[in-house]
Amino acid sequence: MSSLHPRDLIPQDFDIDAFAALIDRPDPAIRQDARERRRRTAVPQAALGRLGELGDWLASVQGQAPARPIERARLVVFAGDHGVAAREVSVHPAGRASDLARAVLDGSAPVSVLAHQYGAQVRLVDMALDCDPGELPEEVVRHRVRRGSGAVDAEDALTAQETVAAFRAGMAVADEEADSGTDLLVLGDVSVGGTTVAGVLVAALCGTDASVVTGRGSGIDDLAWMRKCAAIRDALRRARPVLGDPVRLLAAVGGADFAAITGFLLQAAVRKVPVVLDGVVSAACALVAQRVAFRAPDWWLAGHVSGEPAQAKALDRLSLEPLLDHGVRLGEGTGALLALPLLKASAAFAAELPETGEAGG
C-alpha cells in the first residue's frame, strides 16, 4: 500500500470550496442603473461601442453607478521558474526567469515602459524563481515557496503543502492590495516555460489534445514547438487522475506562480477588486479558479488576445471577450496594461458625459 508523506496532505484548515459561497456576482441592478444613465446622455448607445458596456461593468464591480475614475491601478507580476523549461520549450534559457524579473524591477522590461507611461505602480512577487533569494529585495522574495517548480511532464510541480502555501500567498497579496486602496488590479506573470504549463492546465480542464493548445510562446521554432507539444502531452497523462481537485491539479501540473495567481484571483473577487487578465498564464489560472467558484469570472476582464491557442480556449470557457487584439506577445502583464487606457476612458465617459434627461438612441 502506498503511503502519503505529510507534505502531500492538504492542510486540514484549508477549505478551497469555501470560495464558492464567499464570492457573489457584481450587483446586476447597478449595471442596469449604469446602462440607463448611459441612455440619458446625448450620445447614441452604439456610438460608444464596447466602451459603453465596459463602463457598465466597471460600475457593477465598483458597486456604484456611474463608475468612478480609476485612480490606483496596480500591476502585480507573479514570477517563477518551471522545471519543464529544461525540455527547451522557450526562447528564454531554462531557470533564468530571474533575469526577466530583474528587468521588471530595474524598469528596463517592456512592461515597465507601459507602467511608466500609464502611471501604474508595479509589484513583483517571486513565488519560485530559480535564483538565490538574497539576490532580490526582501519584499519581492518574502512569498517564495521553493526554488523552481518541478518539471510537470515527469514529476509534481509542488507538494500539496507548497501548493496551499503559494495559494495563500496569492490571497495575501490580493488582501494587501485591497486594504491599501488599489482600485484595479492588473495581472502579469514572468516565467520561463510558463506557456507550456498553462497549456497543460487548459488542455486538462477543457479535455483537448496537446496539439490544440500548443502555441509559439515567447517565439519558439518548429522543433521547439514539437518538444513543447510532447511535454504537454506527457503532463496531461499526469493531470488526468487529479482533474477534479484544483489543489492537486495545481500541485501535479501547475507551479507556485500558478497556485498563487489562482488564490489571488479568487481573493480579489471576494474583496470585490476587479482584475484585468493578461495572457495564457492568467487565463489558465482563471480557468482553475472558475472551477472553484463559478461566479468569480464576473470580476475579471480579459485585456487582450496573446495568440496562444490555449488562452483563446480558456477565455471562451470563461465567457470573457478580450478587449484588444494587436499581436502583442510579450507577457509580463503588457496586454493587460494596454487595456488600462480603455478602461479609464470608459469610466470617464460614464462619469462625465452629461445626462440630458431624455432617453438617447
Please give the positions annotated as active site: 332
Residue 252 CB, nearest approach to ligand NIO (Å): 22
Backbone angles phi, psi at 251, to 5 degrees: -70, -40
| Pick 196 or 346: Cβ nearer ligand RBZ | 196
Instruction: Give the single-character DSSP code of 182.
Output: -
Q: How big is the chain, counted in residues?
A: 361
Residue choice 306, 312, 349, 353 for contact with ligand NIO (CB under 6 A): 306
Instruction: Give the single-character DSSP code of 10.
Output: P
| Pick 102 or 248: Cβ nearer ligand RBZ | 102
- Sheet arrangement for strand 73-81: 121-128, 73-81, 184-192, 275-277, 300-302
Site residues (CB under 6 A) for ligand RBZ, limited to 320-349 = 330-332
**What is the SS3 assignment for 209?**
coil
- With beta carbons less than 8 A apart as the criterion, state whether 174 and 318 touch: no
Torsion angle, CA of 222/228/234/239, rounded to 10 degrees?
-140
Selection from ligand RBZ, ligand NIO, none that 192 binds (CB < 5 to 8 A by kind) is: ligand RBZ
Question: Which grid coordinates are listed for 306?
Answer: 496573446
Selection from ligand NIO, ligand RBZ, none that 191 binds (CB < 5 to 8 A by kind) is: ligand RBZ
Asked if omega into 66 is within 30° of 0 (cis), the reply is yes
Total binding residues for ligand NIO by CB under 6 A? Answer: 12
Q: Is 95 in the site for ligand RBZ (CB under 6 A)?
A: no
CA atoms within 13 A on the CB side of 161: 7
Site residues (CB under 6 A) for ligand NIO, limited to 324-343 = 329, 331
Selection from ligand NIO, ligand RBZ, none that 90 binds (CB < 5 to 8 A by kind) is: ligand RBZ
- With beta carbons less than 8 A apart as the criterion, state whether 158 and 5 touch: no
Residue 304 CB, nearest approach to ligand NIO (Å): 9
Q: Which residues are at the interface with ligand RBZ (CB under 6 A)?
A: 90, 92, 100, 189-196, 217-219, 330-332
Q: Which residues are at the interface with ligand NIO (CB under 6 A)?
A: 195, 217-218, 278-281, 306, 308, 311, 329, 331
